[in-house]
A and B are shown apart, each in its own frame.
Chain A
Amino acid sequence: MKPAPFEYARPSDLAEACAMLAAGDDARIIAGGQSLVPLMAMRLARPKRLIDIARLGELSFVRQEHACVAIGAATRQCVLEREALVRTAVPLLAKVMPFIGHAAIRSRGTIGGSLANADPAAEIVLVAVTLGATLVYRDGTSSAEMAASDFFVGPMMTALPATACLTAVRFPVWRDARIGVGFHEVSARRSDFALAAAAAQVALDDNGICRRLALGVGGVAARPLRLDAVARALAGTRAEEAAVREVVRAALAEIKPLSDLHASADYRRRAAAHLSVRAITDAYHAAAGADAG
């Protein structure tokens, strides 16, 4: 399974990368290659030119920016696993990192690569949708941003313009004192892409009442879904299991899950519901146990 021939270029900075992309010519960005190279090996992707941004220092960073943490698109997943700022400020992202493939995938795979690939079952994509992240990209010489909810349009499909390069993703940071996260996924084998996944983040007040809640489900539909109805319904409550179950059930009744060799639509719906309840429950308990201040 050898790829079709291509030219390889390693621009020295982002501007040069964008100029190369803008030149057209069926060019594609490569960073870690963990999703792109298998597609090329199977000749499902056949770019004539690969533009390698893996070593652009300007795209590899993790920094606090006002109420967000901004992460450069070419930041490797293994770096994020070890990054203290991610652990403290974007705990939901830290939570899912160990579930992404294997260490060997995370040694090379980047956060931008996962986002641009837009697999509906990908953990990073789910977290971006759940937290309402902002994707930052550059097209030619101009920069632009897009909300995650607009960015992911379908399975392996994004609204990223063909000549654009993802440069960063900004995750909103919840300033609440008591925050907890929960994440569950199910797959036939431990490290496969999830048939269903649920990511939850909960903020509690001092009395254990939900101030805020975010829930996203992945692997179920054409793109990850943020279940705002659940968030609204549970805000101001103690997220008791029965209530959570009912609210989740109602929210998922509306969706149209995928069906394939590995799982039926009904399975995905039931699994998503079950995992959502568990994720919320875990997040709640984690928040309840968290130190205030």
Chain B
Amino acid sequence: MRVDLTVNGETYALDVEPRMSLLDCLRERLLLTGAHAGCEHGVCGACTVLLDGAPVRSCLMFAVQADGYDITTIEGLAPGPGELSPIQDAFCETHGMQCGYCTPAMVLTAHALLADNPAPTRAQIVDAVSANLCRCTGYAQIVEAIALAADRMRGLNWPERGW
């Protein structure tokens, strides 16, 4: 089946089996391997991407359902080659990761949270992060990264969405 997917601002015309998940499509057809498979049944969140800015589990969507949205993957967040967004930089500052497997999902989740709520409480950050499982960090340094990013971003001039 033919489907047009708009990912990180670019539109791609693809021919896929209906049963191909959005996750597999991004990874195998578009070679965007930042989204990861952890369980393929919607629990771990490692496959998280943003659909019109909202987090979704890409393993629970078929590629053929994903046309007409602005899909954002981790590859779409860095401002330029070699650069890091404020959120990505905050994750590096607090070392909010170890193996890196859940990290794209965490960063995207943080991105969506802070776009919606620029001054989240710790409880709100924990709640957002709880959607994604991490086996390495115990979450502490991830929560700190997001809090740090929120603080820094409130001190910057930055456009509404998308840098």
Contact = CB atoms under 8 A, between A and B. Distances in A.
B41 A8 contact: no
A42 B59 CA distance: 12
Nearest to A104: B55
Nearest to A36: B60
Contacts of B131: 102-104, 191
A108 B22 CA distance: 13
B18 A33 contact: no
B92 to A, nearest CB: 24
Dominant SS at the B interface? Answer: mixed
A105 B42 contact: yes
B115 interface: no
B57 A104 contact: yes
A194 to B, nearest CB: 16
B54 A103 contact: yes
Given A1-B40, A8-B18, A104 B48 contact: yes
A2 interface: yes
Nearest to A78: B54
Interface in B28-63: 40-42, 45, 48, 51, 54-57, 59-62
A105 B131 CA distance: 9
Contact of B54 (A6, A8, A37, A107): A107
A41 B65 contact: no
A104 B18 contact: no
A190 B126 CA distance: 11
A40 B51 CA distance: 22
B56 A5 contact: no
Interface in A1-18: 1-8
Contacts of B41: 1, 38, 41-42
B99 interface: no
Contact of A107 (B1, B56, B62, B64): B56
Nearest to B112: A103
Contacts of B45: 102, 104
B22 to A, nearest CB: 10
Nearest to B47: A104
Contact of A190 (B19, B57, B112, B130): B130
Contacts of B109: 104
Interface centre among B59, B60, B130 (most CB of A within 10 A): B60
Contact of B59 (A41, A105, A107): A41
Contacts of B57: 34, 104-105, 108
A190 B61 CA distance: 24
- Nearest first, the 6 closest Cβ-Cβ pairs linking A and B are A102-B131, A8-B18, A38-B41, A104-B55, A1-B40, A107-B54
22 contacts: A2-B21, A5-B18, A6-B19, A33-B60, A33-B61, A33-B62, A37-B59, A38-B60, A40-B19, A41-B41, A50-B62, A102-B45, A103-B55, A103-B128, A103-B131, A104-B45, A104-B55, A104-B57, A107-B51, A108-B57, A108-B61, A191-B131
